[in-house]
Structure 1
Amino acid sequence: MFAGAALLLLWGLALSPVTEQATFFDPRPSLWAEAGSPLAPWANVTLTCRSPLPTQEFQLLKDGVGQEPVHLESPAHEHRFPLGPVTSAIRGLYRCSYKGGNDWISPSNLVEVTGAEPLPAPSLSTSPVSWITPGLNTTLLCFTGLRGVTFLLRREGEDQFLEVAEAPESTQATFPVHRAGNYSCSYRTHAAGTPSEPSAMVTIEELAPPPAPTLTVDRESAGVLRPGSPASLTCVAPLSGVDFQLRRGAEEQLVPRASSSPDRVFFKLSALAAGDGGGYTCRYRLRGELAAWSRDSAPAELVLSDGTLPAPELSAEPATLNPAPGALVQLRCQAPRAGVRFTLLRKDAGRRWVPRVLSPGGPEAQFELRDVSAVDSGNYSCVYTDTSPPFAGSKPSATLELRVDGPLPRPQLRALWAGAVTPGRDAVLRCEAQVPDVSFLLLRAGEEEPLAVTWSTHRSADLVLTYVGPQHAGTYSCRYRTDGPRSLLSELSDPVELRVAGELKPQEEGAAVQAFAPMVPSSGLRFHAPLQR
């Protein structure tokens, strides 16, 4: 079997410059091509596979199909696969893998061997973000599978290359970028050589101030808190190595903080006072004397109530507590007087949280649940609190149990490619749902186990089949499920057909039953199972 490669994260909890840094270990190998002569790059080609860990077994993969593994007499970090002159039988998309313990590690980067000119396009990416602002060192990274080339950077609208970088011992070059615009890169093997096909365009924006971070109330603090309770909020920036600030209104909140990653911080509020409820925001800035603060995050609400005021009344319209899927439900919270802040509470499977907060000015707040589905089922109540001292709060209202029957709404699955997929490329399918904070599952017709599972805070997720080969041809659907003790599962989407260019050769039939699991991305949990027939 092929094991999904894991990232090993060693994170410090204190916000010191040393322990704030995260150490990432990527066990995937790297693959590159070397030309016998830069004047004729396809005349004599060798592929080199390098593993970060010593191993006795390497494997080359071509067009999505594993070749015969190579067993070495003693462990090594590197193995060379001579291809020789590039003919029609040699052309293709290559990756490599190695054996770590009893499992094959997820495959390397892709190297395209075409045997033709212009040379295949490189890839262009940004680091750490795709925007520039004063004090930030944004760079563009141009990468190709051919080692020892000269890289060329171009900005859209300009005739000449902006930067030229030689990389005699590397497959990539880094370019600093100081102006907004659309950029692409290419490369050549010698000074008089024809540049390769250009990379896809990358857009760099100029942002001042930097974009807002996100602020969330941690799960244990998401309900109605009593004065004296602790609370925790998490602020996440779009890049690492920044200073954070928690604010309530225009005032900075000097509270203890901790971190598990250099792009985020946990603000710890202890023994909340009665007036500490309400909206909080956070912001960040680059480390430097002239760095500007980012835009403020969207507010995150802390709800405090001491339970000393009379309970409000909560009613539903329509009066039925078993509405049809897709209906509009209005929950009306009525207080004895005006000028208070209303909070709608929902409890489901032992978890209580705050979905809405309103300050209407009158003695009544109306909370709308649009296009309801089974995910809206739960026990609802409401409270109200004074917005001025002594910040008294009510007891919770009587509970209304809302139940919406039926499965979750059907998602939509879209293929992010056109026509047949070239063997060796990745196939990306986008699953779109009507609710956020769910796990998306990709399934193949006739199989029960999902091929990919991705959790997302958004209403969609990209599900990836990596290094597609003939064995991936088939029909796919997606569905999503809610997490927690009371997990709900949606209906299957309409199917999408994946066709793979070319046909399976007889000698490849036995080798084409395995696929690979890519890395776990930092933005969410993703698992790709091996694809087997």
Structure 2
Amino acid sequence: MPTPKPELWAETNFPLAPWKNLTLWCRSPSGSTKEFVLLKDGTGWIATRPASEQVRAAFPLGALTHSHTGSYHCHSWEEMAVSEPSEALELVGTDILPKPVISASLPIRGQELQIRCKGWLEGLGFALYKKGEQEPVQQLGAVGREAFFTIQRMEDKDEGNYSCRTHTEMQPFKWSEPSEPLELVIKEMYPKPFFKTWASPVVTPGSRVTFNCSTSHEHMSFILYKDGNEIASSDLAWGNPGGSTAHFLIISVGIGDGGNYSCRYYDFSIWSEPSNPVELVVTEFYPKPTLLAQPGPVVLPGKNVTLRFQGIFQGMRFALLQEGTHTPLQFQSTSGTSADFLLHTVGAQDFGNYSCVYYETTMSNRGSSLSTPLMIWVTDTFPRPWLSAEPSSVVTMGQNVTLWCQGPVRGVGYILHKEGEATSMQLWGSTSNEGAFPIINISGASIGRYSCCYHPDWMSPIKIQPSNTLELIVTGLLPKPSLLVQPGPMVAPGENVTLQCQGELPDSTFVLLKEGTRQPLEQQRPSGYRADFWMPVVRDQDSGVYSCVYYLDSAPLVASNHSNSLEIWVTDKPPKPSLSAWPSTIFKLGKDITLQCRGPLPGVEFVLEHDGEEAPQQFSEDGDFVIDNLEGKGIGNYSCSYRLQAYPDIWSEPSDTLELVGAAGPVAQECTVGNIVRSTLIVVVVVALGIVLAVEWKKWPRLRTRGSETDGRDQTVVLEECNQEGEPGTTTNSPSSASQEVSVELTVPI
């Protein structure tokens, strides 16, 4: 969709002589506009202004001179786009009003036609002229910056050239130049197409909108118009050319996409009449209005009801919507801030939720948020309200409680009645606290049976029904009863459960309570001391914490203390237990750890499991398991579970894992002593080995190196002949040579 064009107009503080001080204003329907540009005669004079919070900019001209004469229009700039130009405003002289602009839709024989004359300034009079006639054919007083002249039924005699002029309201009149002529010619046309949106035309920003334009004629092309300007045709991008239906899509609606849409179809030179317009309203730009029904929201069939909508801004257009309908029921333009919509002779079809929206028609139908829905009841009897107590209808002495009388009818008063009392409490208004009756510091005087009803603040023959009866019970005045469950506190879905409330006094009424529920679940008056509350085919929602109280028939509603709470579990698998360690999860020297497994149900057997063990390690009925750390076997991850003794085959989920570890304290010291002993033994062994090696070394043969000044036996491993002075291989007569005939030499590298 193209960026919508802005609106251009003029303002002055000299209504009798506007040309003495004139300011041009440019306003954009898009909230993302950053800047405005004003141009004269296309490019002759340019001025830029930043956008204000109202998305508009002022261009002061001051007193008009001949240099100001010309045709002006403005553009709005966004991040990456520039809008279409506004309508041209023409200044024709220093003492003449700006030339107005005349326009009209296509004239259709026998139908009403409106001719629009835009005059640029507020507070001007308007006159419509037809060529060939001296006097104006129609005149209108000051109606803003534009006026609409109406031809009630277009006939051949109404064809011709028309123009319009504006003038000041005070004598002597100062007139504008005539507008450019507008020729009205009746042409033969196809009937108007059927035009609608697939969803409601009142949409939020970002919504997807599809316009449907259809006709019974085949092989037609279609044109989509917004505010009288052609914006799309039935080409491949927009619809099915040559068909009898075209769809025009806006993928994501923006604030500037609101406006009055219509369509036409054509075949060669013959066009259809324009369709009925669809007002596309984009909401959430202005605050929501309020909605009231007069005389009230409950109406007898055949009577009238007025829906009054109160907005904030003047000069807006209001639209009435009913939940479940496709298009707004009614539209109404008003000069004030409110609008009244009459629903005449209402029937069953008028029953439902209503809301409204207001919007400005000059700026792309920028609208408010929807009002809060209001239900209209078409009946001869008020719907029955419901009375409840918060936090509960069973309270202790001195506690505060609020009685709530609530129903579907808004904007009415309420009456709270206590049985046995002649006077009632009344509450009026349609605030968020409607129907709330606080009772502070409950005492014996507050005990009793209550009911409430609507009390309309208008004279109405509609019948009123009382609410349910609520018994306000005060506890803590009798001994508490006991509460047991059969067959047990855990049952599978679909089974039956009986809760047994045992009191201490006969002739009592027993009351069953559930935590989180305002009202008692059930009351019984048995002949003995016990009431059996039967719960058949229990479901998950029946799980919870239950208790009971009782009161004597001789002193009704003065009840006992609450019984002990009893938790009921409706499940195929019991909830997992918790696992904790005492005194801690860290082993100390010579100390054991007790693991404590706790579950929510009584009468169970617990089992403790240690990672790495093929079978459960220990069983316990009280859930306590003593763990030692002999040889470090106590360290590791543990979990526990349980089973009901009545259902030994059903095990709970395992608890969260708990890890037992060694410590950096005494346990670590124990490990350190052992390491020292081991290290000392190793050192002793190494020293002993060293001594032995040294002794053995001294026993080895010591051989001498030739030329050594010492003994030489430690420096060589050469075995010499007995005759050290002789040459190798010679024979001597030495006794040594007689004992060793062969000389052997073994060389070991040094």
Same fold at TM > 0.5: no
Q: Which has the higher contact order (CA 8 A, sep 6+)?
A: 1
Query: Which has the higher Rg, Structure 1 or Structure 2?
Result: 2
> Structure 2-normalised TM-score?
0.32
> Structure 1-normalised TM-score?
0.43
Going by fraction, where is helix more abundant, 1 or 2?
Answer: 2
